[in-house]
Chains A and B, each alone.
Chain A
């Protein structure tokens, strides 16, 4: 079984620039998550999708972050404009509906200068 694919693995941008991250979940996993992991901290949920609908985006900074999951498969997370404090690893995870077990991708490391 192929894992959760994420790209790019690394991105360095200047503050106020924009960036987008892409995620392809495990085939058949209807639930997709984006987590933000700041260095030295645990992952924090940004947004959760069930198919192409949003289940929870309560911790997504909606003034600068957006995410979509068209067709209920791939997902894109965008940050515009980026701030210094957005430097983090952005983890995508997927699971079967209602399942507690999440499978994570390797993450996309963002550095904002």
Chain B
């Protein structure tokens, strides 16, 4: 129940394309859903986050879509750039615990 399932494991997108990463959860007690971005040799850094009372949140080229009834959420990266190449982790949290998905290695080809 504490798991967050993330797919795909790896993703290759052409520059300018749309990158989409999906996550699903089981525990309805989760009330905060962040996405973290991790570059090699660095720790994860918060990219964007959403609460379940909204269905979408957009920040620049990054958008989270949230489907509460399906218990799924996804990250969309519009106009993907080579600098977006990184590992992306979805996560879900209660006030007590933050659980990460398995990660998606995104490569943007120039």
Contacts and interface: CB of A to CB of B under 8 A. Distances in A.
A43 B89 contact: yes
A47 B56 CA distance: 32
Interface string B87-110: 001010101111111110000000
Contact of B43 (A4, A40, A48, A56): A4
Interface in A56-113: 56, 91, 93, 98, 100-107
Contact of B100 (A4, A42, A48): A42
Contact of B103 (A4, A40, A45, A56): A40
B43 A42 contact: no
A43 B96 CA distance: 16
A55 B99 CA distance: 15
B21 interface: no
Chain A interface bracket (under 10, 10 to 19, 20 to 34, 35 or more): 20 to 34
Q: Is the interface of A mostly helix, strand, loop or mixed?
A: loop
Contacts of A40: 102-103
Contact of B46 (A4, A102, A107): A102
A44 interface: yes
A91 B44 contact: yes
B7 to A, nearest CB: 13
A56 B89 contact: no
Interface string A32-54: 01000000111111001000000
Interface of A: 4, 33, 40-45, 48, 55-56, 91, 93, 98, 100-107
22 contacts: A4-B43, A33-B98, A41-B102, A41-B103, A42-B4, A42-B6, A42-B89, A42-B102, A43-B89, A43-B100, A45-B97, A56-B96, A56-B97, A91-B43, A100-B34, A101-B34, A102-B98, A103-B46, A104-B44, A105-B43, A106-B42, A106-B43
